[in-house]
Structure 1
Amino acid sequence: MKLRTTSLALLTVALVALVALVAAGCSSDAEPAAAPATEPAKESITTEAPRTEGSVDGPTIQIEGFAFSALDPVAPGTEIVVANLDGAQHTLTADDGSFNSGGLDAGSTITITAPDVPGAYPFVCNIHPSMIGSLAVDG
């Protein structure tokens, strides 16, 4: 019985250590991956000072729980607020390079401008590649 109790204790310690390692990897302060080779249009990104909660107006993509919120289709040239509500840094980077937030610190916002050409614009977080979404631009 003593051997079984010792084995169970060792298994519990190993499991706790594994969970701690996984959590540490998800909250890394590592620098974001390099931006795509395609540079976004000069007017496609406007950085802003962080906003206080409740002060975001207009179309908004929220980053929370390591996921992007959905956004209804927008008109070409629409300004879209990207609000990082997570405790980790993220990016919102179009697959085709048409917009790129760069590293967006926890609790901050940035405004991107929707592309001028209607279509679907898939995007990803370059830091956490499992985070994906798509921006629909209607004509």
Structure 2
Amino acid sequence: MGDVMTDSRRRRIGAGLGAAALALALVTACTSTDESQTPSEPEAPMTQHDLHANTDEATRPPVASGDEATAITIRNFSFGLPDRVSPGETLTVVNEDAVEHSVTADGDDLFDVDVEAGATATVSVPDDPGTYSFHCTYHPEMTGVLTVE
């Protein structure tokens, strides 16, 4: 009688083996990796320095690009300017950084526009020819000179 197995016992053993096989399949599926994917390391929290050093193209927010000839482009905490603009012209300001900036005239309240991270805005050029110094109110080290001819 030691070698005789009842149907009830066979079903219990079969069920146990089936459950073990299912558990092994789930563990294998959850822990297998695709050879084409590279494991990534966890990201550290961003610091203020990281925001100023944002030079990686992949981390920049997408923005609508303006015509470079009539646009001020803010990238990596600096202003990209057209060589010269016409009096009274409207310029597009494209902020490609991950933080808010402004384009603010140094004197006479001639122009002042805030541009959210990854956004665009417009600014009207003064009507009189000349050179106009400006800065970012949030980052005073950011400066530029607009030439109106």
- TM-score range (shorter-chain normalised) is 0.5 to 0.7
Structure 1 counterpart of 2:134, one-letter code: F
Counterpart-to-counterpart distance in 2, 1:21 and 1:77: 40
Which whole-Å deviations, capped at 9, do the CAs of 1:48-94 have from their partners, x for residues lacking one? xxx9534x245000000000012111110111101100001100100
Residues 1:23 and 2:49 aligned together: yes
Residues 1:94 and 2:105 aligned together: yes
- The structure with the greater share of residues assigned to helix is 2
Which whole-Å deviations, capped at 9, do the CAs of 1:75-122 have from their partners, x for residues lacking one? 101111011000011001001120000x31111111111100111000
Q: Which runs of 4+ in 1 moved over 2 A?
A: 24-27, 51-54
Residues 1:69 and 2:80 aligned together: yes
Q: Which has the larger radius of gyration?
A: 2
Number of matched residues?
94
Counterpart-to-counterpart distance in 1, 2:95 and 2:85: 20
Counterpart-to-counterpart distance in 1, 2:103 and 2:88: 17
**RMSD of the alignment, in Å?**
2.3
Q: Name the TM-score, length of structure 2 as normaliser.
A: 0.57
Counterpart-to-counterpart distance in 2, 1:120 and 1:81: 18
- Structure 1: 5+ residue runs without aligned partners? 1-19, 28-50
Higher relative contact order (CA 8 A, sep 6+): 1
1:24 and 1:85, CA in 2 relative to 1: closer, same or farther beyond 3 A?
A: closer
Structure 1 counterpart of 2:133, one-letter code: P
Contact 2:91–2:125 (CA under 8 A) maintained in structure 1: yes
SS in 2 for 1:23: helix
Counterpart-to-counterpart distance in 1, 2:143 and 2:97: 15
- Between the aligned residues of both structures, percent identity stands at 36
